[in-house]
Amino acid sequence: RTHAPADHGEATYRGGMTVCGGGHGLGSLQTPSGECVDLALPKNVLRRSGAWDGKAVVLTGTMDSRPRSLNFLWYDIGDRRIEGGGCSDDVLYVQTIEALR
Distances (CA, A) of 56 to 8, 16, 65: 24, 4, 25
pLDDT computed for residue 1 by the predictor = 32
The secondary structure of the chain in percent helix, strand, coil, rounded to multiples of 5, reads 10, 50, 40
pTM assigned to the model = 0.82
Cα(62)–Cα(66) distance, rounded to whole angstroms? 13
Cα(1)–Cα(91) distance, rounded to whole angstroms? 16
Residue whose C-alpha is closest to residue 87's, from 4, 6, 27: 27
Mean pLDDT of 41-57: 90
Considering only residues 35 and 47, tell me which one the structure prediction assigns the higher pLDDT.
35
pLDDT computed for residue 68 by the predictor = 66
Considering only residues 99 and 84, tell me which one the structure prediction assigns the higher pLDDT.
99
Cα(33)–Cα(45) distance, rounded to whole angstroms? 25
Over 90: is that where the pLDDT of 75 sits? no
Mean pLDDT of 32-47: 91
